Structure 1
Amino acid sequence: MSAAPIRPLDLPDPTGTLMFAEAAQAADVVQAQFQRNQAVLAELAADLRRDPPPFVVTCARGSSDHAATYAKYLFETQLGIVTASASPSVGSVYEARQKLDGALYLVISQSGKSPDLLRNAEAAREAGARVVALVNVEDSPLAQLAHTVVPLHAGPERSVAATKSYLSSLSAILQLAANWKNEKPLLDALEVLPDRLRAAWQADWSPLTEGLVEAHNLFVLGRGLGLAAAQEAALKFKETCGLHAEAYSSAEVKHGPMALVGPGFPVLCFAQPDETEAGMLALAQEFRARGAGVWVCSAHGDLPLVQASHPACAPLLTIQSFYRAINALALRRGHNPDVPPHLNKVTETT
């Protein structure tokens, strides 16, 4: 059961948490990151255009693995490069060798020291892959293993709930893809993204916060480029609010899980402004007809989505607005979003 709601006069100030302060820095972090990483990513992208990898493999855990989901859809839709997620246990526990000759092996990590990611990066390098590390700690063991290091430049992050480091992972992936594709629409989108993130931080998602104070379960739906945002949101509901949430593709939810959606069941829909949007809006309407509690993040929904200059930027804007709302929701439910129970900032898995 969720915690009893705090009486309004006792509500803590939502702006007083580390999570709020760190998420609020994201636009500045991304703006500085774009400037500081341009040279290394331009060089990497030129190499990748000159000698294209046969495929891309991502390796990550937690929020970083959600960023890897974004990389999959971005690389496949914008570059036509098949991108697959590696299960870290295949290399670290089973010690199974993979055929990775010529592949781009993208490892995403905040700390850069989780043993399973290190073992997989080392094995990928030995198998002939080009290892690229997206990492916040530039002198970490992972950075030392990689052929190319792309610093996240998120700075220190003290709240256990990752915010600016997750967004800086997405923005680093976006900058890599834009330079790799080397076409004006995506490159131009980088220029305006920081200001759009600032606007997204000011978006009013209070209907979501108010509506979920006493919720027990929740579906978060996304599709394509927006699926990574749904995955990240579901994780944040669990770790900061004690609210059981599951992320699904709006297509996959029809294969069984939607049987749970009935009167009063909460559903949060991230409608990506691209070819998937119409289907998401239709599904939201279907769930509303069943009496479900539905919130839609969209230009056509009840949670405002700041207009993206390119559809690939929309997931970053969505999650930035969400972070402000989830921080407030955690406090309304009696939780401290900075110190979730049983969790540490750095998780080292084997």
Structure 2
Amino acid sequence: MSIRHVQETRMFAEAAEAPAVVARQFLENGDLVRSLGERLRAEPPRGVITYARGSSDHAATFAKYVVETRAGVLTTSAAPSVSSVYGDTLDVRDMLALAISQSGRSPDILAALDRAKAGHAFTVAMVNAEGSPLSEQCDLTIPLRAGVEESVAATKSYIASLAAILHLVAAWNGDQDLLGALNGAPTLLEEAWSSDWEPLVECLAHADGLYVIGRGPGLGVAQEAALKLKETCRVHAEAFSAAEVRHGPMALVGRDFPVLVLRQPDETGELVDRLVRDMVGHGAPVFVAGGAVAGAHSLPVPTSHELIAPLLQIQAFYRAANALSLRRGLDPDQPMHLKKVTETL
């Protein structure tokens, strides 16, 4: 079955809404994010600490690279269990504590943010469920505005998280180029949704495992793609930075081990191309989104601003993942052993 004519699952329908979600979010959050950006410039945090789980934590990986490269502020991911299980309190004074969540109800994130607020951090939530406990707990909430998301596999809310991160950082450092790119992102997301990644679907129809490779801002979307392959397609996918895969994992790369590479149009591009050439040389079927390397399969994705590229790649991927799940006889809306809200303690 062609990827262009797959059955419309909830996952498919919700992912297709991402362009409208990003457009709505950019418009409706304008004043709020502009004000927050002014505050961060006037009172620069000594660091940013992110709190998230699952897909939201992959968005936090994206946030690390965007904040550090564009705002120049050290950003780290908190281990929520330090607060929720071990009961310890970190020194977070004068830091920006950024929580990212679809539901805003996970007990460990709530416990960690409670400790952060008690420790005099400035707490900000990027959350889809407005009025959730997390939204009420934080000093300020940036609504993701993705609307109801019923499929267990988060799609539009993940892309909304990436867009909200870009909006915040662009407002923080006054990046007019990035703000303009965000304004044009919905149109490019529409184009990305039409991208045909059927060769990847064909290759993975009977695969047992693969690597998903990213670097820089692309690492977070590589992590997200690997998660979706596991939960919706029951494929053992592992995400690696292109800088790390040579440290041992390269031993598995070969004729029967596919690789999906999410190449970024930035300073990492040539380094990633070298890795792709090596993997092709090992006989592996390699699929590259965002580039063309001899011997590798090139997956189409619209040309864009370097920080918009990850959003477009994951949007095109979601359509392919939905098609692959159906091709493997699965229901992407009902992954085994999973439910929509995971309440980690």
Q: Does 1:346 align with 2:338?
A: no
| Counterparts of residues 192-231 of structure 1 (less than 5 Å) | 192-231=184-223
Find the aligned partners of 1:340 and 1:261 in 2 and give their Cα distance: 28
Matching residue of 2:50: 58
Find the aligned partners of 1:48 and 1:116 in 2 and give their Cα distance: 27
Matching residue of 1:30: 22
Find the aligned partners of 2:126 and 2:270 in 1 and give their Cα distance: 33
Find the aligned partners of 2:256 and 2:103 in 1 and give their Cα distance: 40
Matching residue of 2:181: 189
Q: Does 1:257 align with 2:252?
A: no
Gaps of 5+ in 2: none
Deviates more, 1:222-231 or 1:292-301: 292-301
Residues 328, 116 of structure 1: CA spacing in aligned structure 2 closer, same or farther, 3 A cutoff? same
Find the aligned partners of 1:269 and 1:89 in 2 and give their Cα distance: 32
Pick the aligned partner of 1:317 from 298, 307, 312. 312
Q: Does 1:307 align with 2:307?
A: no
Q: Does 1:242 align with 2:234?
A: yes
Matching residue of 2:98: 106
Find the aligned partners of 1:130 and 1:236 in 2 and give their Cα distance: 32
Q: Does 1:137 align with 2:129?
A: yes
Instruction: Write the letter of the residue equivalent to 1:311.
Output: E
- Contact 1:136-1:155 at 8 Å conserved across structures: yes
Task: Summarize deviations over 1:54-113 as a string: whole Å, max 9, x none.
Answer: 000000000000000000000001111110000011110011110000100000011101
- Contact 1:299-1:307 at 8 Å conserved across structures: no
- Contact 2:97-2:122 at 8 Å conserved across structures: yes
Pick the aligned partner of 1:163 from 152, 155, 163. 155
Task: Summarize deviations over 1:276-296 as a string: whole Å, max 9, x none.
Answer: 111111111111111111101
- Contact 1:60-1:107 at 8 Å conserved across structures: yes
Instruction: Write the letter of the residue equivalent to 1:331.
Output: L
- Contact 2:4-2:196 at 8 Å conserved across structures: no
Residues 159, 272 of structure 1: CA spacing in aligned structure 2 closer, same or farther, 3 A cutoff? same
Find the aligned partners of 2:129 and 2:262 in 1 and give their Cα distance: 31
Q: Return the offset for 1:191.
A: 1.4
Pick the aligned partner of 1:117 from 106, 109, 128. 109
- Contact 1:15-1:21 at 8 Å conserved across structures: no
Residues 345, 12 of structure 1: CA spacing in aligned structure 2 closer, same or farther, 3 A cutoff? farther
- Contact 1:299-1:305 at 8 Å conserved across structures: no
Find the aligned partners of 1:247 and 1:180 in 2 and give their Cα distance: 30
- Contact 1:178-1:187 at 8 Å conserved across structures: yes
C-alpha RMSD over aligned residues: 1.4
Q: Does 1:69 align with 2:50?
A: no
Pick the aligned partner of 1:95 from 59, 68, 87. 87
Q: What is the percentage of aligned positions where both structures have the same residue?
A: 53
Q: Structure 1-normalised TM-score?
A: 0.95
Matching residue of 1:333: 328
Q: Does 1:267 align with 2:259?
A: yes
